[in-house]
Amino acid sequence: MSDDTRTATYPFPPTYFEHYCEHAGCGLWGLLGYEPVKGQNSYWCWEHFPDEEWKADRRKYREAVDAH
């Protein structure tokens, strides 16, 4: 006897979200997101992501990883 009462949709079916870049005219996938105002998410592609400091830190990290 199995005690597994779950079905494929228990407790609820998965929810998929599509986040596209918020830059005007850009239709790329918005993989980078952050919450400038609590409860209001924004998403951008790498090219249009507004936080240059974060992008610079990420580049340094990638260069360090690639150097090994």
pTM beyond 0.75, yes or no? no
Closest to 35 in 3D by CA, of 27, 48, 44, 26: 44
β partners of residue 42: 34
Listed by start position, the domains of the chain span: 30-65
Q: Which two tokens stand for residue 56?
A: 């610079």
Q: How far apart are CA 41 and CA 34, in angstroms?
A: 6
Amino acid in position 48: H
CB neighbours (10 Å) of residue 55?
14
User: What tens digit of pLDDT does each residue of 3-57 get?
Assistant: 566 666 566 666 777 888 888 999 898 887 777 667 778 888 888 887 777 778 8
CA distance 45 to 38: 21
